[in-house]
Amino acid sequence: MTRLAAFLMCSVLAAPGLAQELRATGDMGVVVERATGSVLIVDQSDHAALARVEGFGDLSHASLVFSPDERFAYVFGRDGGLTKLDLLTQKIVGRVVQAGNSIGGAISDDGKLVAVANYEPGGVNIFDADTLEQVAAIPAGGKALGLEDAPGRRFVFSVWDTGETRIVDMSGAEPKVTTLTNIGAEPYDALITDDGRTYIAGLFGEDGLSAIDLWAETPTARRILPHYGRGQQEMPVYKMPHLEGWAKAGDQIVLPAIHHHEVLWIDARTLEETGRTQTHGQPVFAMARPGGRQVWVNFAHPDNDTVQVIDSMTHQIVGEMVPGPAVLHMEFTARGTEAWVSVRDENKVVIYDTTTLKPIGEIAAESPSGIFFTARAHRMGL
């Protein structure tokens, strides 16, 4: 490893373009270009794209996580590809196609393991973060999704077909798997709160969500917000909502409803409902600005040109922007001063000032989807 590092350093220093300045990665990020199998490496401070890197395969529904030193990104592609990107050399340094059809991944709390959730053939594969060598395969009997890292070198995921959640403890020599059955019908995605305590799975097949207290001696699944849509007409869902580890807004957790055009607020400790906010469309992401003062929401097709901003104290909508057709994702800078918004069908990322809600910059990108800033490296569940 040290020899490799020394070699890498030499080759970096040898390249005249890179030797001119030392570069830290704390204000860098990666933007997924979903249709072209490429990513942009971006500089948050300069509002600039530094490089386009190609060769990631099918990046529809791609996501990524960062190594603890914020140098490497592990990119999870739809086609089962797990690709390791070096942000400094702007090169792919490892790639395995580890399954036929995948849906995201996670990195262990110690940064040593990367796990990928697979639709086909199902289950979760776990890899050495350094070498991308496979170290474990956790079968699931169905489509694995909602894969999150949990404290104690654990991973947690759910299974669409069987309504199960599995906790995979990788702290010992062999994986120790705990299966929680009957968590709810058709879990479609999940999140873990930034304290590493609460795993929440969204359910497609029923009104309600499932929550697991990972601090409990024996974690059990508990239904929350049961029948939240009772008495309301179900709306078609043209894009699945996504749950992400930006859900904690002060003392509350904010969650997108499904089949209903609203976001749901619950108390972070009791998990009881504290309110609802009617929204412009079927929410996809409901993301708390760092600090939790506001929540930004984007929407499913055909309402996906709009972003709404909700005050987390009053639950009122306090801002509405129309960045352009097909807003797919949003990402806040680490302290929440800016939000970067991907506008797929105008091939751009629009940068908003989160105080004025005005655009202050723009970056060209080819069909951009997910935006990921390196500060994620130091947060649980991201």
Partner 1 sequence: MPDRAALLLALLCLAAPAIAGEDAVGPADARRLEHLVLQDCGSCHGLTRKGGLGSPLTPEALAGQDRDLIATVILDGVPNTAMPPWRPLMTEAEAYWIADYLLKDVKK
Nearest distance from residue 185's CB to partner 1, in Å? 10
Q: In the stretch 112-141, what mask flags binding to partner 1 with x, by CB under 8 A?
A: -------xx---------------------
101 binds partner 1 (CB under 8 A): yes
Q: Is the alpha carbon torsion for 263, 332, 68, 53 positive or negative? A: positive
54 lies in the site for partner 1, by CB under 8 A: no
Query: How many chain residues bind partner 1 (CB under 8 A)?
Result: 30
Distance, CA of 19 to CA of 371 (rounded, Å): 28
Closest CA to 299 of 316, 281, 315: 281
Q: Which region, judged by CB under 8 A, interacts with partner 1, from 3-11, 66-74, 96-104, 331-339?
A: 96-104
What is the residue whose two structure tokens read 């999940």? Answer: 190
CB 207 within 8 A of CB 228: yes
Question: Could you tell me which residues come within 8 angstroms of residue 197 by beta carbon, excluding any fewer than 6 positions away?
Answer: 213, 214, 215
Q: Does 38 bind partner 1 (CB under 8 A)?
A: no
CB 228 within 8 A of CB 283: no
Write down the least CB distance from residue 183 to partner 1, Å.
Answer: 18
Work out whether 239 is an interface residue with partner 1 (CB under 8 A). yes
* CA-to-CA dists, residue 265 to 14, 166, 222, 306, 312, angstroms: 54, 26, 17, 21, 9
> How far apart, in whole angstroms, are the C-alpha atoms of residue 289 and residue 111?
25
CB of 209 to partner 1, least distance (A): 17
> Which one among 56, 66, 188, 373 touches partner 1, defined by CB under 8 A?
188
- Is residue 160 within the footprint of partner 1 (CB under 8 A)? yes
Quick one: which of 71, 143, 154, 248 contacts partner 1 (CB under 8 A)? 143
Query: Residue 45, Cα to own-chain centre: how many angstroms?
Result: 22
Q: Which of 225, 243, 326, 339 binds partner 1 (CB under 8 A)?
A: 326
Among 4, 302, 320, 364, binds partner 1 (CB under 8 A): 302
- Options 240, 317, 357, 380; binder of partner 1; rule CB under 8 A: 240
Q: In this structure, what is the dihedral angle of CA atoms 351, 27, 60, 292, given to the nearest 10 degrees? A: -70
Q: Per CB under 8 A, does 344 bind partner 1?
A: yes
Check if the beta carbon of residue 259 is closer than 8 Å to that of residue 235.
Answer: yes
Q: Do strands 317-321 and 327-332 pair parallel, antiparallel, or not at all (unpaired)?
A: unpaired
Are 144 and 159 contacting, i.e. CB atoms less than 8 angstroms apart? yes
Pick the closer one to partner 1 by CB: 292 or 324. 324
Q: How many whole angstroms separate alpha carbon 228 and alpha carbon 240? A: 17
Which parts of 197-236 interact with partner 1 (CB under 8 A)?
A: 204-205, 236
Q: Is 161 in the site for partner 1 (CB under 8 A)?
A: no
Residue range at the interface with partner 1 (CB under 8 A); choices 58-66, 176-184, 193-201, 211-219: 58-66
Q: Does residue 166 belong to the site contacting partner 1 (CB under 8 A)?
A: no
Backbone angles phi, psi at 9, to 5 degrees: -60, -45
- Applying CB under 8 A, which residues contact partner 1? 34-35, 58-61, 78-79, 100-101, 103, 119-120, 143, 160, 186, 188, 204-205, 236-240, 301-302, 326, 344-345, 367
